[in-house]
């Protein structure tokens, strides 16, 4: 019995450690004076480091199913978890000064961030509809609370309300779809669902009905058209630090969520769901890229660009090949890296009492700080998909997978929308290098933040020049993890 318990607990030891540490941090935070928040911050960073060490230490080759197959421990989950810890840690470094200036650098923010991280970890390792849903709700509830953390801001409260109501609706859709799939197949285990569909034992009409609801729920969580309404409002309304959290690490968990449900659980229904994803992808790329051009607020612009990027992410799933799934994972990782840098830059230019969220705030940045302007240039080039940055390679790999699957028209459409999208990224470069600055206020940057921004910007360039390692890691992870049940 003891050995059985240990076998079950080993793969989730990082989650257990995180939960214990959140409780400890909440207690410790009550005992610390407001000025000693740095101690709480260091504790959170050490917690993330501890989770990383545990995840690496408990990694076993192969795929392990524990808790009666409800949780899976495989290469893909371990890699995605490590990347999640890294991106949450980077987010905390970027946001510290910004939150301190606004009186939001509190123990509640740290605890909610860690709860959100835990939700992502559960989503990444889930192998059962209930575990998937549990992880999703843990992440979502933490994010709703984080958006509303700035209580005296009417805009943030409104954004939180919209996010909460639409999020609850989407969760309902997803749950309804899952219940239908359960009714059709008699199981909540992803592999058992897949086998029931493949054997033809399941009721086909009920399956397709359930699938439509599940895909709608997934599309909402990704922010794909036509379930994108919450993205611009939440990105714009939430304080930039909260926007950064929503726009970065959860995209890794969303990739895992979509791949677990569609690729592992509903692979036999691929001819049905790939058609739906094509509509979602084209709609997202079209609306995201075209609407972003009209924005004057940079956070809203990034919100629409996120919608377009999620369209690109879905292209890899449409191809239905290992290369496609691998390129989607690569795209998710690259997107998170670019997103962290871009929102980090908005926060670096903000100061107490001033939000740098208008496009005009970037005017003449090259004259105020040539190095920061160059970092932003690399990030914008990467988001636009300009070689030799990594964004170009990520787009190229996804398009390559789609072409190999025979959807040449889809690849052509994606390239066209990408060209439209290049306009609003390059406009920021034009503002930074060719316009006169509106203010000459000094840009005060902490040494840790400026070092991270440098690593972030140059990382986008380095990964673009040498993308092979990361791409092969993603391919191997997907190959070992996603097809094991088939």
DSSP 3-state percent helix, strand, coil across the chain (nearest 5)? 80, 5, 20
pTM of the model: 0.95
* DSSP-assigned beta bridge partners for residue 65: 72
In sequence order, the 6+-apart residues with CB closer than 8 A to the CB of 226 are 219, 283
The per-residue pLDDT for 438 is: 82
Token couple for 39: 């101690």
- Looking at residue 484, the DSSP 8-state letter turns out to be T
Asked whether 21 and 40 are in contact (CB, 8 A), the reply is: no
Identify which of 19, 250, 299 has the alpha carbon closest to the alpha carbon of residue 146: 250
The predicted-structure confidence for 240-271, as pLDDT tens digits, reads as follows 999 999 999 999 999 999 999 999 888 888 88
The model's confidence at residue 486, banded by pLDDT at 50, 70 and 90, is very low
The predicted-structure confidence for 189-240, as pLDDT tens digits, reads as follows 999 999 999 888 788 889 999 999 999 999 998 889 888 989 999 999 999 9
The per-residue pLDDT for 241 is: 92
The per-residue pLDDT for 215 is: 94
The per-residue pLDDT for 372 is: 92
For residue 279, count CB atoms less than 10 angstroms from its CB and return exposed for 0-12, middle for 13-18, buried for 19 or more. Answer: middle
């Amino acid at each position: 019995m003891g050995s059985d318990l240990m076998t079950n607990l080993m793969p989730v030891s990082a989650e257990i450690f995180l939960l214990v540490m959140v409780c400890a941090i909440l207690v410790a935070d009550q005992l610390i004076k407001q000025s000693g928040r740095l101690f709480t911050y260091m504790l959170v960073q050490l917690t993330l480091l501890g989770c990383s060490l545990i995840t690496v230490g408990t990694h076993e080759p192969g795929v392990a199913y524990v808790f009666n197959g409800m949780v899976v421990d495989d290469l893909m989950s371990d890699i995605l978890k490590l990347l999640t810890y890294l991106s949450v840690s980077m987010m905390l470094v970027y946001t510290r000064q910004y939150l301190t200036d606004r009186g939001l650098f509190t123990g509640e923010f740290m605890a909610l961030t860690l709860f959100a991280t835990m939700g992502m970890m559960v989503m990444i390792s889930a192998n059962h509809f209930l575990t998937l849903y549990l992880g999703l709700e843990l992440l979502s509830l933490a994010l709703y609370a984080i958006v509303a953390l700035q209580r005296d801001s009417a805009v943030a409260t409104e954004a939180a309300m919209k996010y909460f109501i639409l999020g609850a609706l989407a969760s309902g859709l997803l749950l309804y779809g899952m219940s239908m799939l359960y009714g059709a197949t008699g199981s909540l285990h992803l592999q058992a669902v897949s086998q029931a569909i493949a054997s033809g034992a399941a009721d086909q009409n009920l399956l397709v009905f359930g699938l439509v609801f599940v895909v709608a729920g997934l599309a909402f969580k990704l922010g794909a058209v036509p379930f994108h309404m919450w993205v611009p409002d939440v990105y714009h309304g939430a304080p930039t630090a909260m926007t950064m959290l929503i726009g970065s690490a959860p995209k890794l968990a969303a990739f895992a969520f979509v791949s677990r449900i569609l690729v592992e659980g509903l692979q036999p229904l691929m001819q049905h769901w790939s058609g739906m994803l094509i509509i979602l992808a084209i709609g997202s790329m079209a609306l995201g890229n075209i609407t972003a051009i009209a924005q004057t607020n940079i956070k809203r612009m990034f919100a629409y660009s996120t919608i377009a990027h999620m369209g690109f992410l879905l292209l890899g799933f449409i191809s239905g090949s290992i290369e496609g799934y691998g390129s989607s994972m690569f795209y998710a990782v690259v997107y998170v890296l670019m997103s962290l840098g871009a929102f980090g830059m908005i926060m670096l230019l903000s100061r107490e009492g001033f939000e740098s969220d208008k496009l005009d705030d970037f005017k003449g940045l090259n004259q105020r700080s040539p190095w920061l302007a160059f970092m932003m240039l690399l990030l914008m080039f990467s988001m636009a998909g300009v070689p030799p940055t990594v964004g170009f390679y990520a787009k190229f790999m996804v398009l390559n997978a789609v072409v190999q699957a025979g959807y040449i028209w889809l690849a052509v459409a994606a390239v066209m929308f990408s060209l439209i999208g290049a306009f609003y990224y390059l406009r920021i470069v034009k503002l930074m290098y060719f316009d006169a600055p509106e203010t000459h206020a000094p840009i005060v940057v902490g040494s840790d933040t400026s070092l991270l921004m440098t690593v972030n910007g140059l990382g986008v360039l380095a990964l673009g020049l040498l993308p092979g390692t990361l791409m092969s890691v993603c391919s191997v992870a997907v190959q070992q993890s996603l097809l094991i049940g088939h």
